[in-house]
Each structure stands twice: as structure tokens, then as C-alpha cells.
Structure 1
């Protein structure tokens, strides 16, 4: 492996390979996020009726959101598993594995019979495939970030890294747009019968494209250098937790707020707008699509600004802005005015994605190369386990037990944002650190 890694490095000019790595990571990440995001949108609207039809409607929604949360339970396991492998055998190989696994799981979701056809086996298989989706994404998310960060010029790591996290907004926009077209053209009955399967069945084509692009990127210079020195750890995850427990914990808490609030918007809001406010599903998809298209630019803005003023100040400004918007979010939704609803969703998503632009650099820079994948994945996927998966379920449960009053969800958002702000204040600046150490 040493010879292979060494020979890959000089074949392409450094800046050219950095751009190629950014494109490959961004496209691959977006392709995986399309499947993951589409599941959340369909879970909020269709799955309670076709996989949990035997339950009371309110319980069915909770059950559908619980399967959504399974993916987040699997993400830390995938992040830790692929993180250890990535620190030992390289970033490139792992990214090919994760993309293939995500595509296979998503394609099979599109093929699943419903509860009316095979009974209890249907939701059971759904849970298993959702677990595999999350397991794959746990390794993908961090690996794609590191592939870009370790190729990027030091003074532009924030900007280069930000393009990776445009994948979540781009995929949310594409998934929402696809679902909008399907619900508008097929109608509610046909969409529920078979139309929801289309985004998942398209996974096969997306995986072929993603693998082709990633095969054209070399292993990262930082990993090649560490490998040549024999610096890799036998069990990098243990080393990361032994030497950097405080760093992992701070980063995990920092990322709880963007994670929780993102799923309040992209998953729970869909259920709230359509079920509680009684507004059309396709219009909700359209608002979410437009908001996520706008958010692509705020992701890049966050990364670029962090290269100039630092990761910590950018995160602080964005977090305060997120808190201000969260406090009025449901009040704006309750107007039932689509222009106001679109503004609320766009402002909330936009403020969150400023932080997403900073996140790749913020999570990669504190760790040395030999444990970077493991340490970064532990913090990133840990936040998703703690609040990402449970958030739609928690919000639905809170709303039902508060008699439909949304202030409890606003309070939930305020608590997680407040905790993240404290963790940001306690964290050091990392912009100046050498990523090849």
C-alpha cells in the first residue's frame, strides 16, 4: 500500500487535485444526502400510512419518526467503524465503500413491499435498511470533509471545506423539488401508492456517477505523509478518546444545535405544516426546496468568512442569529401565509448553514492526521445520535403533550442553541494550525 499511496501524490498539480477532491467530495456527499433527506420527507408524509397503517395516526407518525431516528443511531457506529479504517487504510477507499453501501440500501427501500402486502416484515425491513443508510452516511460525512480539507491550501480550508456541506442543502433542495414534482403530477393517491419509490430507485444511477468521480481523486497528502512515517495507530479511535476527550466533547455539543434545528425544519416542519396547519404537501416541499437553494450560498459564505476572521467568531455570530430566528419560527409558520412561511424557513436554514460552512475546518483542524478521521467522526456523528435522530420524534411528542402549543418546541431549540453557544465560547481558535501534523 505504501508504494501505491506514494505514487498517487505527484500525478496531478496540487491546486488542481485540491479542486478535484472538492468536487468529488461535494458531489458524492450530495448524492448520499439526497437519499437520506428523501427518507425524512417521506417519513413525515407517507410512511405512517403505508408502513404503520395499523396504528392510530398520531402513533403512526411517532413510529415513522422513530425509524427516521434509527439512521442517526447507526451514524456514530458507521462513523467510528469507517473512521478507524480511514485512519489506517486511507480516506479514498472508505469513501468508495460508503457510497456503494448507501446506494444499495436506498435502492432496496424503493423496492420494499408495504404493510398491507407482507405485514410486520415491512416495517422491520424498513428499519434494517434505514440502519444501513445511517451506517454508510456516518463514514461518508467525515471522510468527504477530510478528503477536501487535507488537499486544500491552508489559508482557504474554510472555503474549500464549505463546499462539502453544500451537499446537505443541495440534496434537501433536490429531494424536495423531486417530491414536489411527483406529488404535483401524480396526485396524492398515486404518490402514496408508488410515486414515493422513485427517489430511492434512482439511487443506482447516482452511485455510478459518484464512484466514477471519486476514482479520479488521489489519496490525501496528509495521510500519505503520515503513512510514510509509520504514524498510523492500530486502534485510532482509542487514541483519539484518550488524548482528545475534551475536544471531542466540545465539538459534539457545538454541533447539537445546527443538527437539531435542521431536522426541526426539514422533517418536523413538513409534518406540522401539512398535518397541524392543514396546508398542501406540495407547497411545503416547494418552500423547503427554495429555502435550501438559498442556503447553499450561506454555507459557502460561512466557510469564506471563517478564513478571514476565524472559526470561533464566525460560529458565535451565526449561533446568535440562529437563536433569534428560532424564537419566532413557529409564530411565523402559524400565519399560514406562504410568503411568511418561506421567509421563516429560508432564514432559519440560512443561519444554520453558515455554521455548516465552518464545520469541516472546525472539526478537522484540532486533530492530528493519525486520529483525525476517528476523532472528527466521533464528534460529528455523536451530535447526530444525541439530537439529530430523536429531534422529529421529540418535537412530535412535545406537541401532542402540550395540546398543540409550539412554544415547547421553541424552548427545545433555545436550550440546544444555548448549550452550543457555551461550547463555542469555551473552544480555542484553530485556523492557524497545520493540518499535516
Structure 2
């Protein structure tokens, strides 16, 4: 070995070691974001899957079916309403204190809240206070859940290589269908081990609590993972002078004025459209379409949804890769009209042909879900690329969460539209409107695929 090559070796080894260290930090951040999304969705859908069969435990007896439905829906809706509050609070924390700190605080928070829900006394013990506490805890859960991804996802995207950000965004969002499948498997196991058969049955007494305790334990493990394994975003530390954030202005003031304000409005428009279509698949389809219109129950309903969400795990990743290949803006501009035509068309076919056999029905439901939810494999990456580093977490959190409020009241829009058409067809019209609004939101914004997270951004 020559003296020149010998002298160069330590430098090469140092660079290789530095690259390995950065690569491990990147992988840890991405894993953390995936599991943050997974546990976020796990906790959000616990009331829909695990608690729904025993909601009567928190309600007075003798209520009309309409009142029972409203009280049950409030448990879910209050969580969604808490998310924008958490996104704002923890977005500011993530931009001013750090992405990692925001992730730890929020994950620990929703872990404690989920544990408290699992231990909550029922109406028989506390009376109406049990229901009010459940709603309050679900709202607080939404606040912490809204903060969870506000720190974790920008952290992962900032660590990602530019040419792989599309894949990373799709992978992170794949945590949603993975969580849905997991909740159903755990709940089915609970039903098997602790049968649900009236007020005194094992599932009613305490079996429903186990999924909440599992959710709390998962949150605790994720908090420990961030404490021990995940490093702070190097992009954020560089922007804020090695982690010393400047306190002259809050991220919110920059975000609501000038270019930041215009960027936020554009993101909110795009997200309002795609939240509308997403809610029709994730909330309306399981109950309004599959149960009330197609009259599915028991094994047929569970099997259809399990097939659908298993496929969605892979389709989210595929959408992220496609958005990386053709560009985020072009992807949204194409998929919006596809949702408004093909997605609305499939929904119409399912609505007017309730006697379809299981195979064709499951195929159409899955195809509908893949088309309608595909923007979400690109959205995470896109929104993070739309905002500068010093307001990225706040912009992502508000843009992602605040936009869910208007679409959350889709049932009211269906009721209004029913004055003009049969109620069963109103979701088809909302699907068309949502897809076109999402397309318009994308077209008035820029392409972000080549955005660099360097100085000035």
C-alpha cells in the first residue's frame, strides 16, 4: 500500500462511518413515523371496532335509535375535532423546540389517555358522567394524536433522500390500513375468547377494555423508541442554528401571512377535497353502504373489509412511488377526475346492485378503496414539501388536520342533497365533488418533487 492510499484510508473510513450513522438515523426516523401513524390510526378506530358493540354501557337505557346513533358518533367525531387543536399546539412545539420532542410528548399523552379510557367506569357506576368523560377523553386523545404525526412525519421526511421521499410518504401512510387490520384481528380474538352475549357477558364486562390497554402499551413502547433510538432532524437543527430555535415570531404568524398563508389555503383546498372522498370510503362505506345498503353483517362484512385494507397497505406504497415518478401535482391532477368518474361510478354500481355475489362485491369495494384513497400515499410527502423548515411541522399539522372538519359533516350534506335525489345516491355526488375539488387544489399549487430541504427552505 502506498503512503498516499494509506493516508486516504482513515478519511474514507470516517466518511463511510458518517454515512452509516446518517443512514441509521434515517431508518430510525422512518420506522418511528410509520409506527406513529400505525398507533395513531389504531387508537382512532378503537371506538368504531372495539367499543361500538358495547356503547350502551355508557348510555342511559331506553334511548331511541336516533339518539343512540348521535351519541355514538360524537365519540368518534370529537376525536377528529381534537386533531386540529393538537396539530396546532404540537406543530408549534415541533418547529420551535424540535420534531423529536413533539413526538415524545404527544405519544406519551395519547398513551395515557387511551389507558384511562380502557379503565373508565360505565354508566352503571358513574351515570351520565361516564359518557361525558368518554367524550372528553376522546377529545383529548384527538389532541395528542393530532400532535403525534405533526412531529414524527416531518422528522422522517426531512431525513429521507429526495429521490425516495415518495416511497417514504406512502410507507408511512400504509400504517393506517395495517392498524385497521390489526384492530379487527385483536377484536375478533376478544370476541372468540370473551364472547359478546348481553350485558353480563365477558366481552361486555371487561373484554372490550383489552384493545385499549394494548393501544396504551403500544404508545408507551413508541415513546421509549423515540427517546432511545430517534435523533433530532438535522435539517431542523441546521435551520435553527443547531437546535436553538429563534423566539422572535411563532411559526403560526409566518404561516398565516404572505406566501405561507397562500400555501396553506391551497393545501387546505386540496385536502378538503380528498378528505371528503376519504371519509366516504373509511367512514360511510363500512356502515352506510356495506351494512345499510348491501345488508352485510358478520363474517361477510369483516372479510370484505379485511381484504380491502390488506390491499390498501400495498396500494398506498404504490401511489407514493407513482407520485415520485410522475410528480405529486400531476398525480393529484389525474387522480382527482378518476375519483370523480371511476370512483363515483363504482360507488353507484354498488349502491344500485345490492344482490352482488361476494366475489364481485369484494372486488368492487377494494377497487373503489384503492382509487379513492390513493392520494393519501402522496399527500404526506407533498404537504411537507410545500412548507419551509421553520413552519413545516405547523403547516403540515394544520393543513392535514384542519381540513378534516368540513368533510366530517358529510352526513349533513347527504341529507341536504336528498331533497334533490334519493338519499342512497347522494354519496355518489359527494364523491364527484370531492375529487374535482382535490384536483383544483392541486392545479393552483406548484410541483414539489424536486424541492430541496436546504438553506432557505
TM-score (norm 1): 0.89
Quote the residue 1:329 is aligned against: 347
Deviations 1:117-146 (A, max 9, x none): 422112101111110111011111232220
Quote the residue 1:315 is aligned against: 332
> Contact 2:58–2:130 at 8 Å: present in 1 too?
no
Quote the residue 1:202 is aligned against: 214
Quote the residue 1:83 is aligned against: 91
Deviations 1:341-399 (A, max 9, x none): 42233223222442111112210112111111111211111112222x434x5478679
Quote the residue 2:241 is aligned against: 228
> Contact 1:113–1:122 at 8 Å: present in 2 too?
yes
Range moving further from structure 2, 47-56 or 300-309: 47-56
Q: Structure 2 matches for 1:268-347, cutoff 5 A? A: 268-272=284-288, 273-275=290-292, 277-323=294-340, 324-329=342-347, 331-332=349-350, 334-335=354-355, 337-347=357-367
1:118 matched to 2:133? The reply is no
> Contact 1:180–1:282 at 8 Å: present in 2 too?
no
Q: What is the count of residue pairs matched by the alignment?
A: 427
> Contact 1:104–1:203 at 8 Å: present in 2 too?
no
Range moving further from structure 2, 240-249 or 86-95: 240-249
Quote the residue 1:219 is aligned against: 232
Deviations 1:257-289 (A, max 9, x none): 332333333333333333555432443233222
Quote the residue 1:416 is aligned against: 434
> Contact 1:268–1:395 at 8 Å: present in 2 too?
no
- Alpha-carbon deviation of 1:85? 0.8
1:242 matched to 2:257? The reply is yes
What SS does structure 2 have at the residue aligned with 1:430?
Answer: coil
> Contact 1:315–1:424 at 8 Å: present in 2 too?
yes
Quote the residue 1:265 is aligned against: 281
Range moving further from structure 2, 174-183 or 42-51: 42-51
Quote the residue 1:6 is aligned against: none
Range moving further from structure 2, 310-319 or 296-305: 310-319
Quote the residue 2:7 is aligned against: none
Range moving further from structure 2, 285-294 or 72-81: 285-294
Provide structure 2 residue ranges, at least 5 long, that are not aligned to the other structure. Answer: 1-16
1:14 matched to 2:46? The reply is no
> Contact 1:241–1:375 at 8 Å: present in 2 too?
no
- Alpha-carbon deviation of 1:43? 6.1
Quote the residue 1:390 is aligned against: 409
1:428 matched to 2:440? The reply is no
CA distance in 2, matches of 1:330, 1:200: 36
Question: Cα 1:200–1:42, aligned 2, differ >3 Å: closer, same or farther?
Answer: same
CA distance in 2, matches of 1:68, 1:237: 28
Question: Cα 1:77–1:17, aligned 2, differ >3 Å: closer, same or farther?
Answer: same
> Contact 1:24–1:214 at 8 Å: present in 2 too?
yes
1:355 matched to 2:371? The reply is no
TM-score (norm 2): 0.85
- Alpha-carbon deviation of 1:22? 0.7
Calculate the aligned-residue CA RMSD, in Å. Answer: 2.7
Quote the residue 1:4 is aligned against: none
- Alpha-carbon deviation of 1:48? 5.7
- Alpha-carbon deviation of 1:177? 2.5
Question: Cα 1:43–1:200, aligned 2, differ >3 Å: closer, same or farther?
Answer: closer
CA distance in 2, matches of 1:326, 1:62: 27
- Alpha-carbon deviation of 1:184? 5.2
> Contact 2:414–2:423 at 8 Å: present in 1 too?
no
Question: Cα 1:186–1:279, aligned 2, differ >3 Å: closer, same or farther?
Answer: farther
What SS does structure 2 have at the residue aligned with 1:365?
Answer: helix
